[in-house]
Structures are given as structure tokens and as C-alpha cells.
């Protein structure tokens, strides 16, 4: 592809993101690619993402565009430095065309709480896209871009991937540097991404993975070529089905889709067994996640005080500036979460709330690893149903059911997992979750490639507004 074709491709993606805004409201801001295209002329056309348009979640710092994390308190904030992954994308030849909407400060699973308004699902504009990385998932699903960046703290890449019918990858904790990514909960946050096929998913991780000394949690583990042996025979591989989740599924399209995948994997030579987790620990996941994530968020966002950057309200004292700025800058939803987190970290409560949650987290991880021991991968439906209506999701109570919360487990453990399209329920996409051992993304991708072949869902795009 010559430079003029690359230019047309970049502007086609930019214009499509702009056109889709009326329908999806998925972009926090659009990025004219002109300056990036000028730089691209100086780069090698052999780069892995040369000229490829990408969309980037709005919690990733970018010098060429505002980074607001979809929060009123960061409106107009332009970082003075790029996130590590922003630099990697540039160096790989990618062209950013949009910063994508997200749940405010990544605190949510619906993408209803963004300062710029809700993101709509490409398959039904009355339904949620999932969150917190819903803007990136929606643009990928609608075909505006083939690659989009997200972040995953509890299921924030994999849930919107399932709801929007695309691939969503959460690598091993530390596999990708988080330097320059506005945090939610530091012990759980993982940079993730969306693609339309497994080969592109393997390609993207090769670009993004690796050690970064500015993020002390990033790993020194070597980065393999994840694209090699994608279609290796599964003969001799042992794949576990998460029995707790399977047993909780209602009869219907989701369970039927899962059964077809299981049957297909067996035909491809994999040994399939059902495994189960202690139900008490399984049903503790949401409570433990709720405490740890909100406590860590409260600490992480103490710097959003209205005096250093972002929104600043006038007042007579530092305390009043901070109170007014945070009250007006944060939504009620986020203020409530930060208040809960502050309560959990308060000196009189810390041992009984935050520290106890950390101890239960360790028990959950030990039980999860016991359940997965001896298996090459674990599979389950990413979500028990397709995307809910926005009206249903807006005030839905938290659920402690494992079928709703099992994706949290790999955020607790740090292991990799991904959602791949599996089927439909009442016309809405549903995904299959594939999880593997730490740093075995290559094995995870091999299973995903076979699932892609079984289902036939590859490069599937939903046309919107045409």
C-alpha cells in the first residue's frame, strides 16, 4: 500500500468515527491524522501497524489530544507526555484517529457514566456497549477501526467485547506497561485491546508487550511472536469448562452456543472436562472487588484536587477549592465510589475492610489456581446474556452471582484472558471467555483461533446508520 492509499485509509477511519458519533457517541475526541501522516512518511512501511488507524481509550495519555478519562474534572487536560503504549503505537506506524469514551475514570461496566454521555451498542442503539472500554469496543464493532485500545480492571475490555461482538484481550498483569494510563485500581488494572480477528490480536500484543522501566510492575518476561503456530492442532490439550458458570446458565441461545464450541473443540482433539470452584469463594468475588477497587481508586485519584490540573473552581481557600472542584467535577456515581474507598482506607477501618478483602482475594486466587491446575485453558461464556437495555442497566443492583462476575478472577490472579465472539442471543452478540496461565498468551491465542474457526465469526462488522 503506497503513501497516498495510507492517507486515504486514515482519513476514511477519521471520517467514519465522526459519522458514527451521531449513532454511537463513542468518541471522546477526534484526532485529525495530518501531523501523524507527515511523520509516517519518515518511517519504514515494513512496520507492523504501518498506516493502520487506531482508536485509544481516553485514559491513555496523548500529547496530541486531550485525555479526560471521560470525567468532568479532567475536561481540557492535555498531557505533556505520552503513555508508553502511545509511543509504541506511534513507533509501530499506527495512526490515532480517536480518543474513545469510557465510564468515568473507568469506574463502571456499562459506559453510561461518561461526561459526554452514554455509548450505544452498534447492534441496538438502545442497549449498552459495556464498559468501561465501551467506546473502543463500539468503534471496532462498527468497523471504523480494526484496532482499539482499552483497559481492564474487572472485565472492562472483555465485557464490552462480548456485548459488541469483537475480540477483547486482557493480557497477563505486567505484560504491557501502564505508564501514562490514568489508573483505577493499580493491583488490578491491565492494558487491553480490541480486534476483529485472532491473528490481529496476536499481532497487537507483540507490538504492545515488554518491559518498561517507568512501570515497575511491567515484566521482564521475553516477548514471543504470538502469531506463530496459531492454528496448531489441539490434540493432547486439556481444556476446562467453568462448571459453576455453566450450571447457572439458563436454557437458550447462550448455552447452545457454548455447547457447539465445546463439541467443536472435542472434534479438534482437545480433552474437555468440567471443573468447579468453591461456591462461597466464587460468590465473594464482587464484594472483594468492590472494596479493593474503590479503596485503590480513592488513593489513586487524591491528586484530582482542582489545584494541579483539570477543573478548578474559585474559592477562598485550598480546602474549598478542592471541595468545589471535586463536587462539580465528579459525577454522583464516582463521588459515591471514592467515598466508599476512603471509608475502607480510614485508619479505624483499614484492617477490618481493606486488609480483610486482600486476604480473601488471596484465598480466591489460590482456589482459582487449584481449579485450573493441569489444564491448558479455561472456558466459559463471557457474559450470561447479551447487552441489556440502557434503561435496565442504569439502576441495576450489584450481583454476587459467579456467572456475572467470573471475569474478575483473572484480574485478581493476573492471568491472561480474552473474549471471542461465540454466537447471538436475541440478535445481540455473546462472547466466549478463554483464560490461560500467566504469560501463556500464545496458548490462549491458539485456542481462540480454533474457536474462531468453529464459530466462523471473523472480521464481523456491524454496519450502523447506513
Q: What is the pLDDT of residues 79-109, one digit of tens each?
A: 999 999 999 999 999 999 999 999 999 999 9
Asked if the structure places residue 40 within a domain, the reply is yes
Beta strands 120-121; 147-152: pairing state:
unpaired
Nearest CA-CA partner of 418 in 88, 195, 108: 195
3-class secondary-structure state, position 196: coil
Residue 18 carries which DSSP code?
H
* 182 is a domain residue: yes
Asked if the structure places residue 112 within a domain, the reply is: yes
Q: Which of 27, 57, 199, 419 is catalytic?
A: 57
Range of 72's domain?
3-231+420-431+450-455
pLDDT tens per residue across span 170-219: 999 999 999 999 999 999 999 999 999 999 999 999 999 999 999 999 99
**Angle in degrees, CA 336, 341, 342, rounded to 5:** 100
In a domain, 201, yes or no: yes
Is the residue at 344 inside a domain? Answer: no
Q: What is the pLDDT of residue 307?
A: 84
156 is catalytic: yes
Give residue 41's pLDDT band: very low, low, confident or very high (50, 70, 90).
confident
Give the C-alpha separation, 137 to 55, whole Å. 10
Give the strand pairing for 120-121 and 124-128: antiparallel
- Residue 430 per-residue DSSP state: E
Does residue 365 fall inside a structural domain? no
The structural domain count of the chain equals 1
Rounded to an integer, what distance in angstroms lies between the CA atom of residue 142 and that of residue 45? 27
Task: Work out the mean pLDDT of the chain and round it to a whole number.
Answer: 96
Task: Tell me the Cα Rg of the chain.
Answer: 21
Query: Can you give the pLDDT at residue 137?
Result: 98
Asked, for residue 377, whether it belongs to a domain, the answer is no
Judged against a pLDDT cut of 80, whether residue 1 lies above it is answered with no
324-336 pLDDT tens trace: 999 999 999 999 9
Is 227 catalytic? The answer is no
On the question of pLDDT at 313 being above 90, the answer is no
Instruction: Mark whether 293 is an active-site residue.
Output: no
Other Cβ atoms closer than 10 A to 284: 20
Q: What is the CATH classification number for the domain harbouring 132?
A: 3.90.1300.10
Of 27, 129, 132, 151, the catalytic one is: 132
Q: How far is CA 370 from CA 278, 365, 366, in A?
A: 10, 8, 6
CB 326 within 8 A of CB 301: no
Beta-strand relationship, 167-170 and 147-152? unpaired
318 pLDDT band, cuts 50/70/90, is confident
Question: Cell 493499580 sits at which residue?
Answer: 186
CA separation for the pair 431, 330 (Å, rounded) = 32
Residue 356 in any domain: the answer is no
213-235 residue pLDDT tens? 999 999 999 999 999 989 888 99
pLDDT at 286 over 80: yes
Residue 387's Cα: distance from chain center in Å?
16
For residues 121 and 111, give the distance between their C-alpha atoms in angstroms, rounded to a whole number.
10
Q: Which of 27, 71, 136, 156 is catalytic?
A: 156
Amino acid at each position: 500500500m503506497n503513501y497516498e492509499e495510507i492517507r486515504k485509509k486514515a482519513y476514511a477511519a477519521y471520517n467514519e468515527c465522526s459519522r458514527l458519533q451521531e449513532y454511537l457517541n463513542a468518541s471522546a475526541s477526534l484526532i485529525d491524522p495530518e501531523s501523524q501522516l507527515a511523520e509516517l512518511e519518515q518511517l519504514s512501511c515494513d512496520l507492523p501497524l504501518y498506516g493502520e488507524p487506531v482508536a485509544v481509550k481516553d485514559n491513555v495519555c496523548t500529547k496530541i489530544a486531550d485525555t479526560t478519562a471521560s470525567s468532568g474534572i479532567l475536561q481540557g487536560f492535555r498531557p505533556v507526555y505520552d503513555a508508553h503504549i502511545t509511543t509504541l503505537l506511534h513507533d509501530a506506524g499506527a495512526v490515532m484517529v480517536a480518543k474513545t469514551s469510557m465510564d468515568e475514570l473507568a469506574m463502571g461496566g456499562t459506559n453510561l457514566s461518561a461526561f459526554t454521555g452514554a455509548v450505544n451498542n452498534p447492534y441496538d442503539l438502545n442497549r449498552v456497549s459495556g464498559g468501561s472500554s465501551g467506546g473502543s469496543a463500539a468503534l471496532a464493532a462498527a468497523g471504523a477501526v480494526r484496532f482499539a485500545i482499552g483497559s481492564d480492571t474487572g472485565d472492562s475490555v472483555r465485557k464490552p467485547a462480548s456485548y459488541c461482538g469483537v475480540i477483547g484481550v486482557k493480557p497477563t498483569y505486567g505484560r504491557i506497561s501502564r505508564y501514562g494510563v490514568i489508573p483505577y485500581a493499580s493491583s488490578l488494572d491491565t492494558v487491553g485491546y480490541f480486534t476483529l480477528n485472532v491473528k490481529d490480536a496476536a499481532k497487537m500484543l507483540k507490538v504492545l508487550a515488554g518491559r518498561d522501566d517507568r512501570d515497575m510492575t511491567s515484566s521482564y518476561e521475553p516477548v514471543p511472536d504470538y502469531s506463530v503456530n496459531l492454528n496448531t492442532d489441539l490434540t493432547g490439550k486439556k481444556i476446562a469448562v467453568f462448571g459453576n458458570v455453566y450450571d447457572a446458565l439458563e436454557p437458550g441461545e447462550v448455552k447452545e452456543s457454548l455447547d457447539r464450541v465445546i463439541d467443536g473443540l472435542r472434534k479438534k482433539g482437545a480433552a474437555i472436562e468440567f471443573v468447579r470452584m468453591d461456591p462461597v469463594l466464587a460468590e465473594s468475588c464482587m464484594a472483594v472487588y468492590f472494596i479493593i477497587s474503590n479503596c485503590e481508586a480513592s488513593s489513586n485519584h487524591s491528586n484530582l484536587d482542582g489545584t494541579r490540573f483539570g477543573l478548578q473552581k474559585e474559592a477562598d481557600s485550598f480546602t474549598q477549592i478542592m471541595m468545589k472542584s471535586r463536587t462539580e467535577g465528579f459525577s454522583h456515581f464516582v463521588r459515591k465510589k471514592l467515598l466508599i474507598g476512603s471509608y475502607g482506607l480510614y485508619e479505624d477501618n483499614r484492617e477490618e475492610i481493606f486488609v480483610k478483602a486482600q486476604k480473601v482475594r488471596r484465598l480466591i486466587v489460590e482456589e482459582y489456581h487449584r481449579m485450573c491446575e493441569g489444564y491448558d485453558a479455561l472456558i466459559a461464556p463471557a457474559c450470561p446474556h447479551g447487552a441489556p437495555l440502557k434503561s435496565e442497566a442504569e439502576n441495576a443492583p450489584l450481583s454476587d452471582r459467579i456467572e456475572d462476575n467470573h471475569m474478575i478472577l483473572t484480574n485478581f490472579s493476573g492471568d491472561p484472558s480474552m473474549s471471542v465472539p461465540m454466537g447471538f442471543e436475541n440478535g445481540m452478540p455473546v462472547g466466549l471467555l478463554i483464560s490461560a496461565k500467566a504469560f501463556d498468551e500464545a496458548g490462549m491465542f491458539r485456542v481462540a483461533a480454533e474457536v474462531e474457526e468453529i464459530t466462523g465469526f471473523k472480521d464481523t462488522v456491524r454496519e450502523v446508520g447506513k
